[in-house]
Structure 1
Amino acid sequence: MSPSKPAISSSRARLPWLLPYSPRPKPGGGHQQISNASILRAIANPNSNPKQVLSLFTAAVRQRGFRHELPTYVSLLPFLVRHHRIRATEILLRRLPLTGLCPGSSLLLPLASSALTAGIPSDSAARLLLSASPSASAFSSLLGFIIRSDHLSLARSLILFAVPDKLGFPLKIRHFAGLVRKYCRRGDVEEAEELVAQMGRSGVSADAETWNSLIVTVCDHRSVDGGFRIFLQMVDMGVLPDVITFSTLMGRMGLEGKALGCNALFGRMLVTGVLPDLGFYRILIGVYCKNRLLSDVVRVLRAMKIDGFLDDGGIEERSVLEWGVEFDEVILCFVLKWGSIGDFMR
């Protein structure tokens, strides 16, 4: 048998972390043990190539008593990804738990960074990261890191390829919500809508906060009518709108002069059992003032007094203007002078 090609030990089947056979390098002296530090030095050496590093690593793990250490993998796997050795990286990731190590955030985040730096396609990078079978906390940390890094394509692929049965934990609202909000802030309406639909297909019901983000985005980047259709979808899905939902829709409707629509939606809000807050009243007053519906302004002020948002000391012009409402100065002076508001408030 050639000395340059040693026989493969029959014990290899019991060492599942080993890569396919490659020639064993010859350490100096013939009997020198290859340590984790040796592997790290090889990775840090700018003249090292993936084949050399993998050969050294394979020789190391064949040694009796070799100790697998997480810092070695934290350096090795991103190094392989940067050199587009995806298959080798995936093999090591899948076998990592057999060494007694857990692929947590300290490994997955540098691995994701390397995949992004190397320009690995999003679908391939997502499958690679999921091959590590991350825990629920590690998956959440990884997803959050990718979203904060603004690599939304990879975040989307990670969610789409995440199969709960294989992961060992169910996907939850928090796994989708951050990406939906990010899409909404960027004005990516179609992507946000599709992701909310994907939530339903995954058995996850979007909450009111997620729906509200989508409503705002559709209103701002498409139309108020489109936002209202999203509102109806939300209700059809059995999600109870909150005061922010109604504030958003009514504020946008008021900007388009749809005061009657605001009245109808206000009535629907009260029937639903959603109570107004101060922010809602501010928006409603702004809508009525913009559309010069002074009697409705007085009606809202009356409701605010009943609900305890105004005290018994009366109302002054300065107080009204502090709400940020653009009252027509002549109308405001007329109302305050002749008591349409003043008599009621005092």
Structure 2
Amino acid sequence: MRDVSMMTYGEAIREALDDALAKFPEMLLIGEGVPDPKTIFGTTQGLREKYGAERVLDMPLAENGMTGICIGAALAGMRPVLVHQRIDFALLSVDQLVNNAAKWHYMFDGQQQVPLVIRVIIGRGWGQGPQHSQSLQAMFAQVPGLKVVMPTTAGDAYHFMLAAIADNNPVLFIEHRWLHHIQGGVDKQQMLSTLSGAALLRQGADITLAAFSHMSIEALKAATVLASYGIDAEVLDMRCVSALDVESVAASLAKTGGRLVIADCAPEMASMGHQLLSKLVLAHPNSLQQVPRLIAYPNHPVPTSHFAANHYYPGAEQIASAVLDMLDKPELIESVNRDLQSDLPKDQPDRSFVGPF
């Protein structure tokens, strides 16, 4: 019988980094806050002590330069995992990521590779505001040569991290900060992931919910409450941002009557939901039997104020309302949303979350 361990998303990432450091002697783990006492939500805890300061190390606030150094290290045969913490900080290394890391394999006819993983964190929390809470995954997903993944479950976090480190070309590994405390099963004997495909989180027959990152958790919440009212929603986690698994969405729509709600944790204008819809309609023009809905953030910067944040972030309530509207059951919206309501601020996932780290 296979041994499946229960652990949080953050613990799963730490386990994957630990196992990869043991497996790949050429691996480095470097980044802002890696040896900090907070150890990036606990994801690097104890690794410096176990593998030494030459393999697990901090870096100066010089994102562009350090990304270039890590690209050079990868070209020299090492496997760096570079941690920028916030995806906002990765903007400072766009030139290195876009013009060097993503292009090198192509420019040199496949003779050179850049086995580099860039860990970044997206998402809200504790008043991080417009410069520390952005969700810029769509920007990076449109760069040819750069793989972008956003695992949602602890199991996928573990296996995707191992697969990203084993990959011989650059991978942007995006974590939503609200996922780190969520528990899930991790089967270490599972076959190595291929960094492709959507994950079916819940089977259903009435409507398809295709969601990204933490919005997959919100979609599951909505689906659970909707089920108590006799509505059966299927939930797909679009865990691989490039390339999007359009075929799984089309297969789901064939079961759910062509009804689709997409939920993304990004502003509407910068949402991968638009890309998913475009690819779906081009590849399967008859798959949609109703006008689809896109649940995303408003098109303005993330507010710092907790009070303003309460009106910025959509979640399970908005997803459920869209589902009920599409199924022509508006009379259920008030009671379903009442069941989904929480007394926590929209900027706080649970009562233990009291700071930026």
TM-score by length of 2: 0.29
Relative to total residues, which structure has the larger helix share, 1 or 2? 1
Relative to total residues, which structure has the larger strand share, 1 or 2? 2
TM-score by length of 1: 0.30
If you compute each CA radius of gyration, which structure gives the higher value, 1 or 2?
A: 1
Q: Which structure is higher in RCO with an 8 Å CA cutoff and minimum separation 6?
A: 2
